Amino acid sequence: MTRAGAIASYAGRRFLSLALTLLAASVVIFVLLQIAPGDPAAYMMGLNADPRALEALRAELGLAGPPVERYLNWIGGVLRGDFGVSYTYRAPVSSLIAERLAVSGPLALLALALAVGVGLPLGAVAAARRGGPLDALIMAATQIGLAVPNFWFAILLVFVFSIVLGWASAGGFPGWDAGVLPALRSLLLPALVLALPQAAILARVMRSALIDAQGRQYMLTARAKGLSESEALRRHAFRNALIPALTIIGLQFSFLVAGGVIIENVFYLPGLGRLVFQAITQRDLIVVQGVVLVLVLIVVTVNFLVDIAYAVVDPRLRRPA
Amino acid sequence: MSRSPGLLVGAGLTLFFALLALASLLWTPFDPTAFDVPARLQAPSAAHWFGTDHFGRDVLSNVMAGARTSISVAIVAVGLGMAIGVPFGLFAAAAGGAVDEWAMRASDIVFAFPALILAILLTAVLGPGALNAVIAIGVFNAPVFARLARGSALSLWRREFVLAARVAGKGRARISVEHILPNIGDLVIVQGTIQFSLGVLAEAGLSYVGLGAAPPTPSWGRMLAESQTIAAIAPWTAIFPGLAIVLCVLGLNLLGDGLRDAFDPKLRARR
């Protein structure tokens, strides 16, 4: 098989398992929310609702009928891009999600960029100075980074920056219409908060992957052919160490997405996290269903792309498992 | 031991918080839930070491009682994850073939849910409360232990002592319990320590957003949520509960890393 053919067949197999995972996840989400207490229709109409009006509203909201039929209606709509209509916002769930994704997406990407930009170099420096004071300092810092709950870090940052220094806005989001710079500025502190534990994890993974690579045969060969230690590190060890780093980046992306849910609430950012919390408290289940499905879709897709990236980089992974 | 200061520090911190939680059962400087409005928002002093909050509740007493909530939620949750995950993983490894394949696909699905989202979804269904936080955290711990148990069991199934047991006529279930389980125990304990620290963080996160232990049960996460609006005038209400979380999680992480190194000399050599 040609290289491209092997990659395509691998991608095809992985895509099938992605589709199955999503399908199963949609069933799990639907079933869980069926068990959820609280009837949205009763919630909307108040305590003294007329039973017949309630019945009509249930039918209108798609809450009547057997569960299997309702599931098929929901998932069929989702496949056509129709996530249903939120009863609290009186708007299509898909447009609510798209609107909020314009905040949560850039936030997660900015945090990822910060984590990679800080974590990988720190890990590389620690590995290069292994056993020295700088290594010890970086490793101690990563331990702290792992232990700090990000919402606490957020509270401290807001306190220091906005109250003591009067520097950045303490929360809220001006919207992309207000210009890219003000919008990015309001995402900076939340992204920093989200990036902290991820940068710590990446630095640790990078360090141990580089240390592992230093002991390998190909590094011996590289040194034997006259490369200096730093050249050998850069040209051979670093590229090999990127593979475990890439895995972790893929895995951690789901933590960035999930962590965003809490951090958005700290900074009053109108993202998916705020949307899902408000929807939960208002029992707007169709919104909860839609948002959770989209979050799962994002996580599964990122892991799928990471797997494909491996197959492109590493020929051994293309073989059927 | 002497080569591993991390293990000592980690064990020390973990022991300290365990004792703090136990001590809070018998004694706290003040009643953690008692309002004392005239004494509200007091800075740390000889009477109130960590100061008081906006209702005059003693912060130190709440940090102590919060340790009890965090640690008990995390312990039960991780225990639940282990109790589901380890037998599941052992079963998948012992059954092999299509059963194993399906079992791992099932754990993939749980993995595909970002852990916190799953916890939020579960608490949305079950309602907030300490017990529901335990279930939510336990559910996303289960696949971690399932994968760990399955992965290490698979390699043991090819070993000679297991082969010998099979030749001796022992069934797959009995071999899993008598021969596989004892050999993966150390890995499970190390992972358990790491999951425990994640559990403490998760409990804090859930109670911060109001999905953890319900008031009046003291909890670090809710203390921080309440401190948010008063952090500017009473920073101690935000600083001490946060520090408690950091030190407790740090201790557990150091303990886990130290235990892993102690169990696996090969890993230590690489450091």
| pTM, rounded to two decimals | 0.85
pLDDT at A196: 93
What CATH number is given for B5-23+35-270 in this structure? 1.10.3720.10
Interface residues of B toward A, Cβ cutoff 8 Å, are 105, 108-109, 112-117, 120-122, 124-125, 127, 197, 201, 204-205, 208-209, 221, 224, 227-228, 231-232, 235, 238, 241-242, 245-247, 249-250, 253-254, 270-271
Mean pLDDT for chain A overall: 83
Q: Which of A57-61, A76-80, B99-103 shows the lowest per-residue confidence on average (mean pLDDT)? A: A57-61
Q: What is the mean pLDDT of residues A252-268?
A: 81
Task: Locate the chain A residue with the closest alpha carbon to B236.
Answer: A156
* Single-letter code of the amino acid located at A299: V
Pick the more confident residue, B271 or A170: A170
Cβ separation of B247 and A37 shorter than 8 Å? no
**Dihedral sign for Cα atoms in the order A301, A302, A303, A306:** positive
For residue B48, the SS3 value is coil
CB contact under 8 A, A146 and B249: yes
Domain boundaries, chain B: 5-23+35-270
Residue A300 CB neighbour total at 10 angstroms: 22
For A54-65, the pLDDT digits (tens) are: 777 777 766 777
- Cβ–Cβ of A143/B197 closer than 8 Å? no
Q: What is the pLDDT of residues B120-136, one digit of tens each?
A: 777 777 777 788 888 88
pLDDT, tens digit, 9 for 90 and up, residues B190-211: 899 989 999 999 899 888 888 8
Residue in B116, B139, B240 to test binding to A, most A beta-carbons within 10 Å: B116
The alpha helices in B96-114, defined as continuous H runs, are 97-112
Selecting from A36, A211, A292 the residue whose C-beta is nearest the C-beta of B270 gives A211
- Bigger pLDDT: B112 or A187? A187
Q: For chain A, count helices (H), then strands (E).
A: 13, 2
Highest mean pLDDT among A12-21, A91-100, B97-106: A91-100
Distance CA A305, CA A308 (A): 5
Beta bridge partners of A91: A86
Is pLDDT at B17 greater than 90 in this prediction? yes
Asked whether the beta carbons of residue B112 and residue A300 sit closer than 8 angstroms, the reply is yes
What secondary structure does DSSP assign to A42-107, as a single string? HHHH-TT--HHHHHHHHHHHT--S-HHHHHHHHHHHHHTT---EETTTTEEHHHHHHHHHHHHHHH
Q: Above 60 in pLDDT, residue B93?
A: yes
pLDDT of residue B1: 44
Minimum mean pLDDT among A219-233, B168-182, B208-222, B251-265: which range?
A: A219-233
Does B56 or B204 have the greater pLDDT score? B204
Q: CATH number of the domain at A93-281, out of 2.60.120.10, 3.20.20.140, 3.40.50.2000, 1.10.3720.10? A: 1.10.3720.10
Which value does ipTM take for this structure?
0.85
pLDDT of B271 reads 43
**Backbone dihedral angles phi then psi of residue A215, each to the nearest 5 degrees:** -90, 0
Contact present, A84 and A97 (Cβ < 8 Å): no
**Domain ranges across chain A:** 93-281
